[in-house]
Each structure stands twice: as C-alpha cells, then as structure tokens.
Amino acid sequence: MTPPLSSSPAAMEGAARLRAGFSKQDIRQQVWDYLEGSGLAEFPRPVHCRIPNFKGSQQACCSIKDLDVFRRASEIKVDPDKPLEGVRLAALQARKTLLVPTPRLRTGLFNRIVPPAGATKEILRICATSQGVKEYSVPVGLDGKARVDLVVVGSVAVSEKGWRIGKGEGYADMEYAMMVSMGAVQEDTPVITIVHDCQVLDIAEELLGDHDLTVDYILTPSRTIKTNCKRPKPQGIIWNKVSSEMLKKIPILKNLRCREQQTGKDVTLQDEHSELVNASTPAALTERMMAEKTRPEAARNSAQRGQRGVESDSLSPRLEGSGTITTVYVGNIPPSLRVRELKCALREFHAAPLRVNWQGAQHRAFLDYKDKATAESAVSSLKGLSLGGNTLQVELAKNQRNKGQVEINSQK
C-alpha cells in the first residue's frame, strides 16, 4: 500500500506525492486507508470518518509536557477524540482546568472536568476518557467566563506549515470560532494537534478556507514540529458559511447569533444569503411591488396601530380560529432590548408564537401559542436564554383565557 506523502524524516521510504487536484476528502480517504491497511490504526475501528486513533498516540501526547506553552497554561481545551486521551490526562495530572467540548455541541460548548477530591491516578485516568467526561464534568455556558490558554485538536492530516484537515464535519473549526466570539481565546492562543508521522503531509494552501483552523504545534510519536504558521486563524463565526440546518443542530449557536446581531453584526446565514440574492432579481422585485399594491388597507392600519403604546405584534400570519390559546410570560427583559431582537431569538429557537404582547416598559412580554403543548415546548426551548446581559424569566402565564386574553398577575 502506498503511504501518503509525509515531509517527516521519520516517514516511510517510497512515500508517494499527492497528485495535484486532490481534494480534502481525497486526502482524508488516503490517510484512513493507510492507517487501516498498515496496521497503525487503534480502537475505535475502523478509523474512517473519525479523528483516527493510532499506535503511539500516548507517546505523542506525553511530549506535550515538554512544551512551555503547556507548562504556562492554566486552562486547556482538549477535543474529546480518543487519540487525545493522553493530553487530557496530562492536563488533569498537572492540576490544570480541563475543558472538553460537548459531543457535536448538542448541549452547549464545554464541559469542565472536575475530578473528585483526593482522586487517585486511576480515577484521573478514568476522568480523561469519554466515560469520565460524562461522569466527572459540569457544563460551562456562554456566561462561564472561560479563558482558554491552550487549544488541542485532533486532525486527519496536517502539514508542517500548519494547514489542518479534520474529519470533514467542521466541529473543531466551529468550536474555535465560537470561543473567539465568546472572548475565550485570543489571537495568540496556541493550537496543538496530535497525529501519527504518516499524517503529516504536503497540503496545498488553496484547499483552506477562511473558516479553517490552523495549528502552531504538531506532536507525533517521533518529533515535535513548530509550524511558525502566519496564516490568521478564524476571527469568529462566519455566519454566511453556517446553514439553518447547523443552527438547528447546535442550540448554543443560536444564542451566539442573537448576541452578535444585537451588536450590529451581519448574521445572515448561508441559505438566507442565497434567498436574499434571489429576492433581488427583477422578477422578485416586481412581484414584491405588486404585493404591496394589493395589500389590504386594514393590514396597513393594523401595522400602524402596533407601533403605538403597548406593542402587539404577530410572528404568524393569523391566530388559530379554534382551541385554547396558551400564553407564556417572559420577564427580566433588559431596558435596552427591542421587540425585534426578542422576535429574532424566538425564531432562532423555533419558538415563534402566534402573537407577541410587548410590554418593554415593564420589562416583560406575553407570547400567545395555539395550545398548551406548543407553549410548554417554547418554555423548554427558551429556558436559560440570555439577551442583553439578562437571563430571561420564561414560564407559562399564571392565568389563561381563551383567544389569547391574559389576566396579568399583580405580582408581575
């Protein structure tokens, strides 16, 4: 089997140069195939579609202790991949704060590993495993004030210049971009990756995008490489590369998007950007003009009324004609928040109501939903939502009436 090209002097002789025009996926496939075919792959197998574990990963991980950037770091973020288990153990043994991203970012960004008091070497070893991450960790939210001194990521392939290729799902790139948005990392925060020597390849820089994370150090079983990479790391989340589907899968991403929108940043998503481009065509503009001309006068008057006094605004075309409207109370709204910002958050968390009764002066709003089940689902989705620096109080309104009428409790 032909091994992938490695610029390492310890690489196998006869390595074949990757052909011009190879894609990232071509490179991944060649690395995975070689690791499996050469007997270098370790559990979990097969290594395809993973950050691959390899023989010698523990040895490569142990060499991190010799780096000044590790010794100086007090808070370290290490990916949950199997070949990085030795780094997680080294961080715990050195009594550093260890942050591990939640799998696929489903429930948040980080878990902080908290070993029990007086933990033995064996317990620390368990804490460094995927099982230990589940049993000995506490979640760290957006307001957790994380200050990461060192980032350790897995790779499928990497070049001596610092170009990195992951398994193709983009989670490591997204995690770093989210940390930038949170202020958890700085421009000079070092990034390390752990790979086998055969994973150090010549990678064409044109394969990299603005969202791709680069690395400053590469640790292999035989050597430590300082890349001196000058290519800038991601400066934050590039929203026009984020799809609506990704937003649905990563709840914390929705919260970050609302935060950044409040600061005036353009947070147009990838598919929304396409819709905006299409909406600007002559045909679309003509259609919109015709719709404006034929819109009923009553709708205009209703919109104008909604701008005066207590704002009542609908996120749905109409209220349902039957059933019992269930209302959700939203409290602790900051004085600076505007109704459009709340509505943005409601849409992002898939909790858009039939109607919003906005009472910003009283720091509250009431959301009408078509039934109790929909309202309870919205409450669950919005729990813990932070807007404008305040964590909102979200609960079913105390007294419910049909057709969206709410009796406001005096205690509110």
Query: Which domains does the chain carry?
Result: 24-239 (3.40.50.10420), 310-407 (3.30.70.330)
Phi, psi (5° rounding) for residue 9? Answer: -65, -20
- Which 3 state secondary structure label does DSSP give 33? helix
- Which 3 state secondary structure label does DSSP give 181? helix
pLDDT tens digits for 272-331?
Answer: 755 544 544 555 555 555 554 444 444 444 444 433 334 444 444 334 344 578 999 999
Q: How far apart are CA 253 and CA 331, in angstroms?
A: 23
- Identity of the highest mean pLDDT range in 16-25, 121-130, 278-287, 403-412: 121-130
Mean pLDDT computed over 91-113: 84
Evaluate if residue 12 carries a pLDDT over 50.
no
Predicted local distance difference test score (pLDDT) of residue 409 = 36
Residue 329: which H helix or E strand, with range? strand 326-331
More confident residue, 309 or 101: 101
Q: How far apart are CA 367 and CA 145, in angstroms?
A: 31
- Identity of the highest mean pLDDT range in 223-232, 270-279, 374-383: 223-232
- Using DSSP bridges, classify how beta strands 406-407 and 364-369 pair: parallel, antiparallel or unpaired: unpaired
Are 193 and 153 within 8 A, CB to CB? Answer: yes
Q: How far apart are CA 357 and CA 360, in angstroms?
A: 9
Evaluate if residue 70 carries a pLDDT over 60.
yes
Q: Which of 60, 148, 73 is nearest to 109 (CA)?
A: 148
Predicted local distance difference test score (pLDDT) of residue 183 = 84
Counting Cβ atoms within 10 Å, is residue 118 exposed (0-12), middle (13-18) or buried (19+)? exposed
Predicted local distance difference test score (pLDDT) of residue 381 = 80
E strands, 120-184, in order: 137-140, 150-154, 157-158, 164-165
Mean pLDDT computed over 364-389: 85
Mean pLDDT computed over 146-166: 94
Phi, psi (5° rounding) for residue 139? Answer: -70, 150
pLDDT tens digits for 324-357?
Answer: 789 999 998 988 788 887 887 787 677 889 999 9
Phi, psi (5° rounding) for residue 166? Answer: -95, -160
Q: How far apart are CA 311 and CA 339, in angstroms?
A: 8
Predicted local distance difference test score (pLDDT) of residue 344 = 77
Q: How far apart are CA 42 and CA 255, in angstroms?
A: 38
Mean pLDDT computed over 49-65: 96
Predicted local distance difference test score (pLDDT) of residue 83 = 97
Evaluate if residue 93 carries a pLDDT over 50.
yes
Evaluate if residue 236 carries a pLDDT over 80.
yes
- Identity of the residue numbered 51: I
Tell me the pLDDT band of 113, cut-offs 50, 70 and 90: very high
Global pTM reads: 0.64
- Which 3 state secondary structure label does DSSP give 222? coil
Q: Which residues contact 68 (CB under 8 A, 6 or more apart)?
A: none
pLDDT tens digits for 378-401?
Answer: 888 887 777 776 788 999 987 654
What is the chain's mean pLDDT, rounded?
Answer: 80
What whole-number percentage of the chain has pLDDT above 90? 41
Tell me the pLDDT band of 107, cut-offs 50, 70 and 90: low
Mean pLDDT computed over 236-249: 83
Predicted local distance difference test score (pLDDT) of residue 400 = 53
What whole-number percentage of the chain has pLDDT above 70? 76
Mean pLDDT computed over 219-244: 91
Q: How many helices (H) and strands (E) does the chain have?
A: 14, 19
Radius of gyration, CA atoms only, the chain: 26
Are 113 and 100 within 8 A, CB to CB? Answer: yes
